[in-house]
């Protein structure tokens, strides 16, 4: 079974309560849920909340699970939910990506038709010069098999080909369990990029290449990409 989990942390550091911000008639996280619900390959979709306050900003048709407030990352929140459900592939769908495309979710899941794929994510060709200099835009470089070589906030290697990293992940269940039981790596702490924990522990990350043009909402200024 393919499980989709949307981690919903209410009080994010850079933009508190961004997931419940009223965006064009409904909360940011409701947009995420509605778009993810269009996936043809997800069998089960859950919002992993950390506060009952979030419920008042969701439609009653949304399935939610109240998770621990002690989690340090969205991945830990996803793992708590996945640990209680019989599933094979888990997709971690960011709660601040209101225009996430269901086709991307499905194509990400299809990568696991290859039995060698343990963890996967998404890279977009939509990367401009300003993005290269923006530390809020995470850049990823790939090897010839589209596995991640590095994730960076600054594009230091002028000879590398970079893609814009889209913060959606998928894992086999055993890989997610392994990942969340690992200690944070030095690179992860330094750059505040938890995917580096995987690379630093020899967990390969296969990247789906897309031309996805939408932005996650990291800071309040990012609302300009979405508000009508």
Q: Got the DSSP string for 32-94?
A: HHHHHTT-SS-SEEEEEES-GGGGGGS-TTS-EEE--TT-SSHHHHHHHHHTTS--SEEEEE-
Q: Does domain 2-225 have CATH number 3.90.550.10?
A: yes
pLDDT for residue 69: 86
Q: Is 115 helix (H, G, I), strand (E, B) or coil?
A: coil
User: For residue 69, what are its two tokens?
Assistant: 């407030």
pLDDT for residue 124: 97
pTM of the predicted model, to two decimals?
A: 0.95
pLDDT for residue 13: 83
Give residues with Cβ within 8 angstroms of 33, minimum separation 6: 6, 45, 47, 58, 62
Residue 18: count of CB within 10 angstroms of its CB? 24
What distance in Å separates the CA atoms of residue 160 and residue 43, rounded to the nearest whole number? 38
pLDDT for residue 218: 85
What distance in Å separates the CA atoms of residue 174 and residue 163, rounded to the nearest whole number? 28
- Mark 52-86 as b/e (b = at least 16 C-beta within 10 Å): eebeebbeeebebeebeeebebbbbbbbbbbeeee
What distance in Å separates the CA atoms of residue 102 and residue 34, rounded to the nearest whole number? 9
pLDDT for residue 228: 67
- Return per-residue pLDDT of the chain as tens, 228 residues: 999 999 999 988 889 999 999 999 999 999 999 999 999 999 999 999 999 999 999 999 999 999 988 888 899 999 999 999 999 999 999 999 999 999 999 999 999 999 999 999 999 999 998 899 888 899 999 999 999 999 999 887 777 899 999 999 999 999 999 999 999 999 999 999 999 999 999 999 999 999 999 888 988 888 988 886
pLDDT for residue 112: 98
Residue 92's DSSP bridge partners are 5, 169
pLDDT for residue 79: 97
pLDDT for residue 7: 96
What distance in Å separates the CA atoms of residue 61 and residue 120, rounded to the nearest whole number? 29
Give the single-character DSSP code of 135.
Answer: T
The dihedral of CA 127, 125, 74, 188: what is its sign?
negative
């Amino acid at each position: 079974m393919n499980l989709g989990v949307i981690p919903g942390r209410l009080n994010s550091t850079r933009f508190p309560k961004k997931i419940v911000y009223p965006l064009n008639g409904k909360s940011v996280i409701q947009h995420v849920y509605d778009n993810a619900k269009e996936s043809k390959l997800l069998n089960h979709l859950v919002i992993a909340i950390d506060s009952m306050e979030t419920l008042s900003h969701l439609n009653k048709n949304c399935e939610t699970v109240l998770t621990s407030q002690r989690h340090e990352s969205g991945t830990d929140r996803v793992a708590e939910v996945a640990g209680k459900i019989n599933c094979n592939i888990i997709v971690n769908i960011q709660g601040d990506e209101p225009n996430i495309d269901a086709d991307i979710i499905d194509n990400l899941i299809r990568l696991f038709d290859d039995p060698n794929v343990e963890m996967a994510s998404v890279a977009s060709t939509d990367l401009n010069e300003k993005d290269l200099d923006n530390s809020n835009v995470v850049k990823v470089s790939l090897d010839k098999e589209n596995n991640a070589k590095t994730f960076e906030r600054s594009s230091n290697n002028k000879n590398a080909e970079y893609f814009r990293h889209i913060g959606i992940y998928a894992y086999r269940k055993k890989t997610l369990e392994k990942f969340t039981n690992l200690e944070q790596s030095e690179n992860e702490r330094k750059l505040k990029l938890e995917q580096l924990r995987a690379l630093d522990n020899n967990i390969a990350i296969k990247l789906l290449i897309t031309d996805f043009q939408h932005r996650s909402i990291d800071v309040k200024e990012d609302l300009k990409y979405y508000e009508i």
